[in-house]
Amino acid sequence: MMKGLEIKNICIERSGAEIVRNLSLEVPSGEVTVLLGPNGAGKSTLLDAISGVIPALEGEIFLDSQPLHNLNRLQRVNAGLSYVEQGRQIFSHLTVEQNIRAACDNQQLADAGMATTLSMFPELKKRLNTAAGMLSGGEQQMIVLARSIIKQPKVILIDELSLGLAPIIVSRFMPLLTELKQTGMAVLLVEQYANAALEIGDHAAVIVHGEKVLYEPCDGLKQDQQRLHNAYMGSH
Ligand SMILES: Nc1ncnc2c1ncn2[C@@H]1O[C@H](COP(=O)(O)OP(=O)(O)OP(=O)(O)O)[C@@H](O)[C@H]1O
Ligand SMILES: [Mg+2]
């Protein structure tokens, strides 16, 4: 049995147009899998379909070998899937603690998850009762990440958490993803700062026009930027 997320031959349409074509990908537990590709390649569309925000036309999705593809979005969350959507925001008028707890409807689970979650974010722990809107952009993104792990999911899909953040703040985030994978989580990371993502990633997949054109260990790709560039340009 495969531990983690398995996507098999998935096809996704949006408004009648085929966006993702026959794509397969494994996102093993205990690894960060980096998903790269040019704007409009279909990265967010793929994550939307994995999480059940939109339906897939064809294909199968498994989490720890259990099928997810016939479940709705909430059922997938309950099966252990968490999705940090592109551009997700916090509730600025609620406190930091309220923001994080709002992601978990079960009080007991929230209490248990809160301690583990906060141990990862000392910046947030100090400011639990502050209105979230008062925090810096980077800290607000930490709230977004904290919300997404409070239920201690098996797999987390992260879409451009770094959007709008300075590179220095992005470099604060990347080690957090290493911490997550070390707890046994499977992490699928879409990231515009490819170099920062390759630093902490285990495998990287590149998709172009909805097709997977490359899948390799991050180590090799870090050394060979030209090949990454070529993949983007479609001359793999
Ligand atoms: N709601 C939608 N309805 C119709 N087409 C859509 C919709 N959302 C995205 N698309 C189209 O699907 C294709 C893939 O978009 P998607 O947002 O998945 O790409 P992406 O790889 O996440 O790009 P980016 O790096 O800019 O975030 C694009 O051609 C886009 O125009
Ligand atoms: Mg996107």
Q: What's the total number of domains in the chain?
A: 2
Do you know the residue count of the chain?
Answer: 236
Residue 52 domain-assigned (yes or no)? yes
Give me the sheet containing 17-28, strands edge to edge.
Answer: 17-28, 4-14, 58-63, 66-67
Same domain, yes or no, for 67 and 162?
A: yes
3-state SS, one letter per residue, for 169-181? HHHHHHHHHHHHH
Same domain, yes or no, for 141 and 201?
A: no
Q: Which of 135, 152, 169 finishes a domain?
A: 152
Q: Which of 136, 152, 168 finishes a domain?
A: 152
Same domain, yes or no, for 42 and 16?
A: yes
Structure tokens belonging to residue 175: 């080690």
Residue 59 domain-assigned (yes or no)? yes
Give pLDDT tens digits for 167-177.
888 888 899 99
Q: What is the distance between the alpha carbons of residues 236 and 234, in angstroms, rounded to a whole number?
A: 6
Q: What is the distance between the alpha carbons of residues 153 and 83, in angstroms, rounded to a whole number?
A: 10
DSSP classification of residue 20: E
Roughly how many angstroms between the first and final C-alpha of the chain, as a whole number? 32
Identify the pLDDT of residue 6.
Answer: 98
Residue 86 domain-assigned (yes or no)? no
Q: Which domain holds residue 192?
A: 4-80+155-233
Q: Measure Cα distances from 62 to 25, 55, 71, 80 in Å.
A: 11, 15, 11, 11
Residue 85 domain-assigned (yes or no)? no
pLDDT band at 231 (very low <50, low <70, confident <90, very high): confident
- pLDDT at residue 235 tops 70: no
- Other C-beta atoms within 10 Å of 195: how many? 12
Structure tokens belonging to residue 94: 């609620």
| Atom in ligand 1 nearest the alpha carbon of residue 48 | 18
CA 224 – ligand 1 centroid, Å: 28
Same domain, yes or no, for 57 and 161?
A: yes
Looking up tokens 């920062």 gives 196
Q: Does 37 sit in the ligand 1 pocket, CB within 6 Å?
A: yes
Q: Which of 102, 134, 152 finishes a domain?
A: 152
| Atom in ligand 1 nearest the alpha carbon of residue 210 | 14
pLDDT band at 107 (very low <50, low <70, confident <90, very high): confident
Looking up tokens 């800290």 gives 139
CATH of the domain at 203: 3.40.50.300
Residue 119 domain-assigned (yes or no)? yes
Give pLDDT tens digits for 78-103.
999 999 998 888 999 999 999 999 88
Give pLDDT tens digits for 183-218.
999 999 999 889 999 999 999 999 999 999 999 999
